[in-house]
Amino acid sequence: MSISSLVGPVTVVAIIARWLAQLWLERLNQRSALEHASAVPDTFRESIDPATYAKSVKYTLAKSRLSQIEETCDAIILLIVLFSGILPWAFNFFATRLGTSAPAMAGFLFLTGLSLALPGLPFDWYSQFRLEERFGFNTTTPKLWGADRLKGLLLATLLGYPLLILILKLVEWTGAQWWLWAWGALLAFQLLLMVLAPILIMPWFNKFTPLPEGVLRDHLLALAQRTGFQARSIQVMDGSKRSRHSNAFFTGFGRFRKIVLFDTLVQQLTAAELEAVLAHEIGHYKKKHIPKMLVASAATSLVAFYALSELAKQDWFYRAFGFEPGNIVPAFLLFTLLSGVLSFWFSPLWNVWSRRYEYQADKFAAATMREIISLKTALRKLSEKNLSNLTPHPLYSGFYYSHPTLLEREEALARLSL
């Protein structure tokens, strides 16, 4: 039996295994929520009322059921796309009419990716206008929702399509070491995007206004000065035009660095609580978490490009999915489609690392504030306002949570000696 004849069955088993694991994790999380649904957990009885807690359980269950349906559809679509013969047919159709030049093949990859994204739009729409609407989070309009997707498509066309052409050109120009050059090009593009996004892209989607003068601004500027965090400005983003969920972050580099607060966050928290949340974000900066994660992401991309370069040399990899060897473009497409099946199983490792950084940022915030109450009450308010799941199953949170649960963060804060 040839290798190519084995690849298909192994791939089917891998896709089904991931799908079953996803359904099982969702079911575990549903059971955990239902087991604790009768009463507010003892730790949080003073900070969340029974009605809000019951609503958070319903929200958790509704999101979980939608995820199960979406994951099932994703698995079915992936199996159909990989084994129906539609990809080899589309590739041959495209190559016959437009040729195999880098722009033509980049167009094939771009349009294929766009087509595969279309089945997700109904789930996106339902989540926004049915599920989020039902629980009081949605504030966007169909017009704004559609405009966001059109803007995203335009950005993908203006940025993603030329990047694909460049990578395919590098394959032509650099020979066997193309994967190293392609990785370098992708890394440079990502770094450039991090610089330009706050200046050119983000304002296209949201309005940013300076935080008005007052007690809050004074508190936050004093915090930035106290921690040695130089920021160009503190700005408020109109997140409320899409959702009542809230967040805070900083963006940009050097003198272009900005502190950004969602307007919903400003409405929900006191000045001291906002100061604690911002201290947490500054903690990520001071501990150099972002550069470290960028290096890890870059290393992962490098390994992925090398693996792709090796697979692209194997005739069995092409033939297993109905392609004829000779053009690297099908290898790009197949690798992209299959990478998520493998990376799913490694997500707990990435989350362990991410949660470790969250604990460190919490510790920095507590040390900066010289107390834990402000951060603790801020986290509790955000959890309540966002109807967060207070009792996720440990396996579920291990696979899906990049942040510790509220209970885990509070226990870690309680162990600090200030």
Catalytic residues: 281
Q: Alpha helix locations (H) across 132-254? A: 132-134, 142-155, 161-174, 178-196, 202-205, 215-226
Q: How many residues does the chain have?
A: 418
DSSP per-residue letters across 231-279: -SEEEEE-GGGTBS---EEEESSGGG-EEEEEHHHHHHS-HHHHHHHHH
Nearest to 382 by CA among 396, 399, 403, 397: 403
φ/ψ of residue 248, rounded to 5: -145, 145
The most distant pair of C-alpha atoms in the chain lies apart, rounded to whole Å, by 75
Please report, for residues 30, 54, 67, 124, 205, the alpha-carbon distance to residue 129 in angstroms, rounded to integers and kept in the order given. 23, 21, 16, 9, 19
Q: Can you say how many angstroms the Cα of residue 393 is from the centroid of all Cα atoms in its chain? A: 21
Look-up: residue for tokens 């039996």? Answer: 1
Rounded CA-CA distance 351/24 in Å is 19
